[in-house]
Chains A and B, each alone.
Chain A
Amino acid sequence: MSILRETTTAIKVTIGLWVITAVIYPLLILGIGQLFPYQANGSLLRNAQGQVVGSALIGQPFASDRYFWSRPSTTSYSTADPATDEAGILKTGVSGASNFAPSNPDLLERVQETIVTLKQAGIEPTADLVYTSGSSLDPHITPEAARSQIPRITTARSLDPNQVEILITQNTDGRFLGIFGEPGVNVLRLNLALDRI
């Protein structure tokens, strides 16, 4: 085969495979996605007025005593103040991690500060609350981390601990088939449930 023929074949194959794998295939999946709008659009949660208040899969930051706290996040769960958002976080959304090595002194320093904050709030420092997550958007905390926040919530909201305990159980995502992954309490869904009481 001459160089010209080989080049022509390469160009034709480039375009042919592009049409199949980069155009037809994604369009097919996008089309199927239309049949499942909740999942396809990111499992968005709406309030009674129909406003989107977040996603069932994406965490939110919480600081108030009336809410369960999420894990510490390096991007504050992709939130920003619209007035000072020079980095354009609210334009695209972000994710990110600390990337601290276990030997990094900055990690230890941050952990020590977190421990102080948690202890002041009367929360037992569990691994998930001490360490930042991988995505900075982790929607879950461990069931232990949720239970150790019950006294704080019941005091702030004057609720019965048993009632809160039930809400935690209702908003816990278990392991797949009881085997794969770890159970996690979905903090946003739990806090939405608290507000509905």
Chain B
Amino acid sequence: MSQGLLQIAITLAIVVIIVPFFGSYIANVFLDKPTILDRLATPLETTLYRILGIRAEAEMTGWPYIRAVLYSNLTMAIFVFVLFALQGVLPLNPTGLAAPTWDTTLHTVISFITNTNQQHYSGETTFSYGSQMLGLGYFMFTSAATGFAVAIAFIRGLTGRPLGNFYVDLIKVITRILLPISTIGAVILLLAGVPETLAAPAVVQTLEGGSQAIATGPVAHFEIIKELGENGGGFFAINSAHPYENPNGFTNLIETVALLSIPTSLIITYGIFAGNKKQGWLLFGLVFIIYVGLISITAWGEFVGNPLVNQAVGNNLVNLEGKEVRFGWAQSSLFAVSTTGTMTGAVNALLDSFMPTGGFSVLFNLFLQIVWGGQGTGTSYLFIYLILTVFLTGLMVGRTPEIFGRKIEKPEIALASIILLVHPIAILIPSAITLAFPEQLAGVSNPGFHGLSQVVYEYASAAANNGSGFEGLADGQPAPTGLWWNLSCSVVLLAGRYIPIMALLLLADGMRQKQLVPETTGTLRTDSFLFTTVTGGVILILGALTFLPVLALGAIAEAFQLSS
């Protein structure tokens, strides 16, 4: 057991070491300070602005920024929808796949443009190399960059700066962060065994004379941006558990660090923007503690194993159902908590088959949305909790609530409440509808308490823009419940993405226009240990209590059932 814990600890240490450097690099990029990539990126960006007709110096206010996000995302979505609809006649389709059904296409486009990558299909049998490379891989850059740009606009507004220009930030995220790291990362993964080819699947005669089809494709370039952009949509059905997506302990380390690097570092970036690094590190520490707690209970559950199976074998076995030998219980647990916490949604072990402690942790992550959180949005939500805590504590001690020297008033609280309320509404109402028609709509594959978790998980994953799943659920075509899942999840995906983004931008725009209130001895400081602890309490009460009944009936009940 100690060896397993050691590799988890060292992986986390690597992340903590990267964070201050990467966090200040990101801050330098968006504060227009010199960075090492200037000589390469600046000419490229200038050329792009000229060709694309972007006036880089033109700042956007709230609504123009929102319109730019919506128009660009809609255009990209229509473009890729057409690409998928024409899959049957487009090139790079060595297995001769026809276009997917309209509802699968719609759900997939919405799922990828919202940075979710929820997949109601199997990569091998549904999308051609062309669709994966030219459509899904494209969204992996642009959807990640969209969330990232909004996060930068949000902290700019919160600290009294102009929001910036959406297109400039969108391009900068790609040219200075996602693309350079992906290029290096893709080559490293390629060298470590992840394929990158346009050749058709090989059909081989096995040693015992059977016929085996080995699916392959241009995986390496796709894999790295899948993790780095917190996308998570697997090239193959079984995602990062597939030996071609994640062949060994080395690639697994690269992928784990890649998916954690941006949301962890962005908290430090926010601290730099606010001129208060301590604030950043305190919030980092708060999230880190929750994160380590969830990893611990998940890892413990997998290590102890399934009591029913242990009894049948007459021996204590770790739970390896749905897990690969090369990752074992430790790396599988770490990956599961990291991927659900960061809203990546890639899996290197199947979440449905985790013990209830693991099921609890991954659901808990989706409900909270801030255990690092989605690309850009996670850090923004963390600061929304900070604003709410300032408001609550301000009420308690009778002081005017203010953050970074600006007053928090009614519109800010209204917008912050919208951001927090969209989540339970988008999860619980569709879950209730679906569970009311278990035969016609739900299509759960596991009996009992776990079946409830499967349904709630799917909507929670959609609303949080995560994309992972309790994949036994019959959520895709040609299952009879596929149409319902595709359409209902599409609505939840859109609500979970664009309503909070609009609210974040309006909130930031409002804060930007406020007068700076000079700091006095009466100012409530947000960068203290005590205040951070209270923030933690607010997060747990507001974020988790809403969903406690669901957790109690799902994962917690299943745990009691297994142990009895």
Q: Which residues of A contact B (CB under 8 A)?
A: 1, 6-18, 20-23, 25-26, 28-30, 32-33, 36, 39-44, 51-55, 57-64, 67, 71, 77-82, 88-105, 107-108, 111-112, 115, 125-128, 130-142, 173, 175-176, 179-182, 184, 188, 191-192, 195
Contacts and interface: CB of A to CB of B under 8 A. Distances in A.
Contacts of B211: 79-82, 90
Given A20-B174, A173-B326, A180-B331, 9 more contacts: A17-B174, A26-B221, A82-B211, A92-B213, A95-B215, A98-B321, A103-B448, A115-B312, A134-B238
Contacts of A25: 179, 182-183, 221
B562 interface: yes
Interface string B456-474: 0000000000000011100
Interface of B: 6-7, 10-11, 48, 51-54, 64, 67-68, 71-72, 74-76, 79, 95-97, 122, 124-125, 133-135, 137-138, 141-142, 167, 170-171, 174, 179, 182-183, 186-187, 190-199, 201-208, 210-216, 218, 220-222, 236-238, 241-244, 247-250, 252-253, 305-306, 308-309, 312-313, 315, 317-328, 330-332, 347-350, 352-356, 445-450, 470-472, 558, 561-562
B190 A96 contact: no
A103 B450 contact: yes
Contacts of A111: 309, 312-313
Contacts of A63: 208
A128 B211 CA distance: 24
A60 to B, nearest CB: 5
Contact of A93 (B124, B248, B354, B472): B124
22 contacts: A13-B52, A17-B142, A21-B137, A21-B141, A25-B221, A30-B198, A33-B220, A42-B197, A60-B210, A60-B212, A77-B206, A92-B213, A97-B241, A101-B446, A101-B470, A104-B447, A112-B312, A115-B312, A131-B323, A140-B326, A180-B252, A182-B325
A139 B203 CA distance: 17
B238 A184 contact: no
Given A9-B52, A175-B249, A134 B71 contact: no
B194 A39 contact: yes
Contacts of B324: 133-135, 138, 140
Contacts of B347: 134
Given A28-B183, A97-B353, A180-B11, A102 B196 contact: no
Given A133-B322, A179-B7, A94 B124 contact: yes
